[in-house]
């Protein structure tokens, strides 16, 4: 080998050095996942952000963030309150009061918690307060609407299931609603609310525990009592119903 064929010494590299080798291309950076974006103004239904992100945006002054949360939960929460309180107007009032409380308490929201159980905690507390207040003054009979089944089943899941009505079922289902209403509204408040949270809103035990601020073990035992209470009252008021 001649002197002009000798390769020049390569510079030494220290551990952790990310400088590309001579003649090589720099490594490409990994692709990034775009963050969910807010939709154009006036289109809250397409907002892909989490509840918690929307609440943070509300705290930062985004004008439509709270409106999006209200739109997202209006149907579900009003239905829960309607079945719990037995009065549509009262349910709408409590829904509005609950979100007013969300607005006022947003700075104290624990970012480690989920928004939905926190919202239902506020709503359930306000519903209980409203019912205690209503109990102290004369009221007209409540006309709760609890969806039921026209196929003869008498289990609670079938009675409480939400479904579309066909014209030929309206009269039969209206009668069934009235019978279910009488049983549900006769239940003690603590049993009625846990039954609705579990069977209608399908909250898991842990989130029911957070909403009602009771231990998970109490949730399980109270739910067992609620189902047994409903079943016994249903059989007593509907003796023609066959045993399951």
Residue 48's pLDDT is: 82
Residue 163's pLDDT is: 41
With a cut of 50, list the residues of the chain below it in pLDDT. 31-34, 138-168, 243-244
Residue 133's pLDDT is: 82
Residue 107's pLDDT is: 93
Residue 143's pLDDT is: 35
DSSP conformation letters of 9-34: PPPP--TT--PPPTTSPPPPPPPPPP
Residue 183's pLDDT is: 86
Residue 43's pLDDT is: 59
CA distances to 19, 21, 52, 212 from 24, rounded to whole Å, are 10, 6, 45, 62
List of domains in the chain: 48-136 (1.10.1740.10), 144-244 (1.10.10.10)
User: pLDDT tens digits for 31-79?
Assistant: 444 455 555 555 566 678 999 999 999 999 998 999 999 999 999 999 8
């Amino acid at each position: 080998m001649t002197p002009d064929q000798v390769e020049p010494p390569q510079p030494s590299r220290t551990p952790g050095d990310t400088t590309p080798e001579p003649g090589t291309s720099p490594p490409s950076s990994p692709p990034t996942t775009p963050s969910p974006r807010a939709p154009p103004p006036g289109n809250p239904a397409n907002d892909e952000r989490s509840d918690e992100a929307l609440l943070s945006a509300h705290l930062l002054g985004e004008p439509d963030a709270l409106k999006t949360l209200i739109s997202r939960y209006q149907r579900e929460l009003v239905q829960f309150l309607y079945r719990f309180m037995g009065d549509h107007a009262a349910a709408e009032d409590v829904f509005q009061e609950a979100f007013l409380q969300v607005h006022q308490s947003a700075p104290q929201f624990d970012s480690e918690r989920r928004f939905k159980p926190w919202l239902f905690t506020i709503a359930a507390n306000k519903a209980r307060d409203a019912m205690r207040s209503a109990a102290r003054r004369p009221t007209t009979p409540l006309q709760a609407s609890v969806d039921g089944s026209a196929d003869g089943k008498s289990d609670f899941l079938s009675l409480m299931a939400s479904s579309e009505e066909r014209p030929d079922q309206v009269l039969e289902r209206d009668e069934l609603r009235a019978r279910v209403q009488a049983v549900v509204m006769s239940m003690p408040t603590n049993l009625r609310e846990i039954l609705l949270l579990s069977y209608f809103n399908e909250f898991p035990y842990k989130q029911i525990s957070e909403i009602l601020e009771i231990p998970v073990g109490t949730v399980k035992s109270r739910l067992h009592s609620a189902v047994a209470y409903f079943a016994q009252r249903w059989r007593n008021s509907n003796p023609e119903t066959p045993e399951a």
